[in-house]
Amino acid sequence: MAKRIIYVSRNGRSHQLKLRDNQGHNPGNNKLSTDVEPSDAVQWQLDTNSGLEAITGIKPSDSSKPAYRGSQDLLAAPPKNNNGIWEATVVSTSPGRGKFENYMIGFKIPNDTTEYWDDPKLQMKT
């Protein structure tokens, strides 16, 4: 069981995220795919100088929408907020190599009352 950390920050002055993870993936935008294995711990936390006020939620994307077709639950339970760091555990049995889950990250920008959402994905490595 490994710990997968996803670092969340604002992409410039946009309403989109810039994401990276502790596996060395750093696309410079919101197009992050983090590789996971059964029973891995996953954490989402604000990056250094993130430009964000807070992560407000983590939830599955609507798999009925064409953009998310094929997405399936890779997390055993919904992520929980633990003092600003969101945590979840990957299912204990792999649904198959390459299976993925699109999910949404909710976030707040300083001095803005709107809650924004962006959509990276987790991908099963084994």
Q: How many C-beta neighbours within 10 Å does residue 8 have?
A: 24
Average pLDDT of the residues in 76-89: 97
| Spatial distance between the Cα atoms of 60 and 10, rounded to a whole number of angstroms | 20
pLDDT tens sequence across 5-27? 999 999 999 999 999 999 999 99
Residue 114 in tokens: 């709107």
Residue 23 in tokens: 């596996």
Q: Does the predicted model carry a pTM greater than 0.85?
A: yes
Tell which residue, 121, 126, 103, 113, has the closest CA to residue 25: 121
Amino acid making up residue 53: E
| Spatial distance between the Cα atoms of 54 and 4, rounded to a whole number of angstroms | 19
CATH number of 3-124: 2.60.40
pLDDT tens sequence across 31-64? 999 999 999 999 999 999 999 999 999 999 988 8
